[in-house]
Amino acid sequence: MTRPLVLELLALPKAVPEVRRAVREHLGTPCPEVQLCVSELLTNVITHVGEGVPVTVRLVPGQDGAVRVEVTDPDPHAWLVARHPGADDENGRGLLLLDAVARRWGVWLTPAGKTVWCEYPC
């Protein structure tokens, strides 16, 4: 990937597969970890910030050929805590998945919102 991808959209459930598809097409090669990250981060916004809020999804070239995924939302609070769900829990595994497959990840806070980012070798 030599150029960034920037998608500005509303956090809606129907946007999740559309963004995954746009990411796959932009990369030009399968990278399921990046698609998983985008899905999980966008779903977290829908679930924890609210359906229909404006978000920005960015893919940018990272260090050493990595791909950096950034998802920005307007909530300036960082409630990103990896939970340890029980075997029967239907939710709570997104950040555990992110942590397991990402090279590294984190959160940038600003007065206007937050950006959750992660990097993957692709």
- Over the stretch 54-82, which tens digit does the pLDDT of each residue have? 999 999 997 788 899 999 999 987 665 55
Q: How far is Cα 7 from Cα 54, in angstroms, rounded to an integer?
A: 11
Contacts of 63 (CB under 8 A, 6+ apart): 119
Q: Count the alpha carbons within 13 Å of 105 in the hemisphere toward its beta carbon.
A: 25
Q: How far is Cα 67 from Cα 113, in angstroms, rounded to an integer?
A: 22
Q: How far is Cα 11 from Cα 13, in angstroms, rounded to an integer?
A: 7
- Over the stretch 44-59, which tens digit does the pLDDT of each residue have? 899 889 999 999 999 9
Arithmetic mean of pLDDT over the chain: 86
Q: At what angle do helices 32-44 and 15-27 cross, to 10 degrees?
A: 150
